[in-house]
Structure 1
Amino acid sequence: MNEKVKGFLKPLAESLLAVFIGFFLGAIILLAFGYSPFEAYYWLLRGSLGSTSGIASTLSYATPIMLTALTFAISARTGIFNIGAEGSVYFGAIAAIIFTNIYGNVLFGLLMGMLVGAMWGLPAAFLKVFRGVHEVISTIMLNWIAWYAVLYLVTGPYANPSDPNKTILVPESARLPLLGGSNLSVGFILAIVASIIVYYILWHTELGFGMRASGMNPKGAEYGGIDPKKAIIWSFVIGGFASGLAGAVEVMGRPPTYAISQGMANINGYGFDGIGVALVGRNHPLGIIFAAMFFGMLRAGTTMMQIGAGVPLEIIYVIQGIIVVAVAIPGLIDIFKNLRRVRA
């Protein structure tokens, strides 16, 4: 069998097996609590894929986590653990709100969200490259700095004077168009395009080759004329663009909010969810597209699973957690294998 085809089919088969195991373990939990797994999964699928609105909700939920997953995947391919997507989402969202209210332009709002998100990734990149600070430590700390900085803007200068539960609204002229009258915006298409662009960069450009080579063997890459430090900085920048876009898309294309809600509840957690999506997609930009849809399906079907099968929300979250962990394990194994190879 062709090695390229084998390299594609093997991860796919492992991921599908992990999905089956996750749902099987979830079924055991449901039976243990006295619920029918067949009924529960039926309503899960019906709620997420059984109607036009359900599919729109699935894809809408998938949009921001697809973009934040790219942030983690790019860093993983470069041999680092950038978990700072959360902070870039916050700054991308608030930047979109600020600049759309100044200029009222869709394109400018998206570009500024991406730019500010990328800029927020630079401190961790410089700390890693010039001071040797581990990116996990710096990005965790920077996430909290981003949280409180943006929370100040949300509750202070950009609070909505007519509605204390959210910020000022994105003006109508700067809102992303909705597809087919649903709650799904063209942000989903932008996320797909971003995934394809990242794939092209990583596998079809000199920059991407240098990033992947640095991730596989930094010393070997440096011996071959590749600068690992440059690769790390670019991974943070490109990842920041993706997460900043996630924040901008979420506030510019999520009806009826079109703002950051109180406590930033509508943009909170997307960066961390993206890590799971990246692992399920095996840190491949094209795999991430389908992994994000899978996560979106789990989230969109929650309500119908509660109503139709009578499963409490807490049990649903347990089931979803088990499925996600099971599906993410192959991706984790890949990362640990790569780390062992780099250190050898």
Structure 2
Amino acid sequence: MKVDIKGFAKPLIESLIAVIIGILVGAIILAFSGYNPVEAYSALFDGALGSKYGWAMTLSAATPIMLTALTFGLGAKTGLFNIGGEGTVYFGAIAALILTNIWGNILMGLLGGIIAGIAWMAIPALLKVFRGVNEVVSTIMLNWVAYFLALYIIIQKIPNPKDPNKTIAIPLSARFPIIIKGTELSWAFAISVIAALVAYYILWHTTIGYELRVSGYNERAARYAGINPKKTVIWSFVLGGIMSGLAGAIEMMGRPPSYAISQGMANIYGYGFDGIGVSLVGRNHPLGIIFSGIFFGMLKAGATAMQIEAGVPLEMVRVVQGIIVVTVAIPGLLDLLKRVVRK
């Protein structure tokens, strides 16, 4: 099989340039705000990559957002703007908590996340196929429905009787083993990498993957080729639901120390939205998402060191992170907009 080196080199170079620009813009803002950018970035990279602990925390932070990025990326390859990963994560986490407390094993937790993800993503899929509802509108609204419905379930149905600040916990028998003791890195990271590899295989080595890509590139041409666009839409949402549902499940089963949903869903909120940026930085490609997920994990893991060692307040850390993320995501966003305009 011939590999298109130029096809990989161009987006890689564009992303690297965007990373450099984002870092430079962040450095300028830090300097104007009275902080030493060299010290700040040194602390960030040292905290995220300078030790075994730093690497472990980086990979741990990357684990769930790689999966939610696959949800958005699979949608983008099909010509959809699926931003419903956020709500799907909530129900994947809840399903894993309930099923592992009933059956007490990892497989049931993963299965629960998958089923919950497919079920929740089926709603915007059916609305799109049978009623023509734009997926951006439906998924945004359903994210809020999911948020408040999940809060109700967490508070009313599965609270921890010994600690009202969190839900019931994943039992010991259903928790992923920790790879490096004293860190949050578990074998859940392997699930995310395997999922990305499976997504790559589906997209480029199966009939359904070919149909998804053709439909996303040019729906009219896909129709002439005998491809059913309704079928590709449903498959895209189903695969996306599996990924985000798994994200919620493995976050519960592989994140010490609580292995539960905390008050206000603080420990699972935002993963779906972060996944959009990760996917755009990875150019909506499953293999690119692995590396962009690690890059985002580095930014998250190094934030604490940036505050402690360089004295940069949390708000400024988030400003710098946001600037880097937006800058790096621009090339992928432009690709997506070009595809929309072409359609």
TM interval, short-chain normalised: over 0.9
CA distance, structure 1, for counterparts of residue 157 and residue 229 of structure 2: 41
Q: Within the alignment, does 1:293 sit opposite 2:303 as a pair?
A: no
Runs of 5+ in structure 2 lacking a partner?
none
The answer to whether residue 103 in structure 2 is matched with residue 103 in structure 1 is: yes
Q: Displacement, 1:230?
A: 0.3
Answer whether contact 2:19 2:324 (CA < 8 A) is retained. yes
Deviations 1:227-250 (A, max 9, x none): 111000000000000000000011
**Residue identity opposite 1:7 in structure 2:** G
Any residues of structure 2 matched to 1:78-227 within 5 Å, and which? 78-181=78-181, 182-227=183-228
Superimposed CA distance per residue, residues 148-179 of structure 1 (whole angstroms, 9 cap, x where no aligned partner): 11111111110001000100011001111111
1:323 aligned partner = 324
* Secondary structure, counterpart of 2:340 in structure 1: helix
Distance 2:237 2:107 in 1: 23
Counterpart of 2:261 in 1: which secondary structure? coil
Deviations 1:4-59 (Å, cap 9, x if unpaired)? Answer: 11111000000000000000000100110111111110000011011111111110
Deviation of residue 269 (structure 1)?
A: 0.3
CA distance in 1, matches of 2:76, 2:25: 28
- Counterpart-to-counterpart distance in 2, 1:340 and 1:147: 32
2:21 alignment partner in structure 1: 21
**In structure 1, distance between residues paired with 2:40 and 2:144:** 37
Q: CA RMSD in A?
A: 0.9
The aligned amino acid for 2:247 is A
Give the whole-Å Cα distance in 1 for the aligned partners of 2:124 and 2:293: 26
Q: Is the Cα contact below 8 Å between 2:84 and 2:272 reproduced in 1?
A: yes
Distance in 2, Cα, partners of 1:106 & 1:31: 48
Structure 2 residue 229 is the aligned partner of structure 1 residue 228: yes
Higher mean displacement: 175-184 or 263-272: 175-184
C-alpha separation in 1, matches of 2:296 and 2:242: 22
Sequence identity percentage? 63
Cα separation, 2, equivalents of 1:92 and 1:121: 11
Task: Output the CA distance in 2 between the equivalents of 1:232 and 1:200.
Answer: 18
Shift of 1:3: 8.2
> Hey, what's the Cα distance between the residues in 2 that align with 1:134 and 1:341?
18
Please state how far the C-alpha of 1:180 moved relative to its aligned partner.
Answer: 2.8
- Amino acid aligned to 2:125: A
Partner amino acid for 1:244? Answer: G
Q: Deviations over 1:260-313 (max 9, x none)?
A: 000000000000000000000000000000000000000100111011111111
1:109-151, CA deviations, whole angstroms, 9 ceiling, x for partnerless residues? 1111111111100010010011000001100111111111111
Q: Is the 8 A contact 2:56 2:180 kept in 1?
A: no
Q: In the alignment, what sits opposite 2:260?
A: 259
Measure the CA separation in 2 of the matches of 1:30 and 1:191: 34
* Number of aligned residues: 341
Correspondence for 2:314 = 313
In 2, Cα distance between equivalents of 1:143 and 1:106? 27
| CA distance in 1: counterparts of 2:282 and 2:119, whole angstroms | 26
Quote the Cα distance in structure 1 between the aligned partners of 2:202 and 2:236. Answer: 11
2:290 is aligned with what amino acid? I
Q: Which amino acid aligns with 1:220?
A: A
Could you tell me how far apart the structure 1 residues matched to 2:4 and 2:52 are? 36
Counterparts of 1:87 and 1:311, CA distance in 2: 32
Structure 2 residue identity aligned to 1:25: V
Instruction: Give the Cα–Cα distance (whole angstroms) in 2 for the partners of residues 130 and 8 of structure 1.
Output: 37
1:59 equivalenced with 2:59 (yes/no):
yes
Runs of 5+ in structure 1 lacking a partner? none
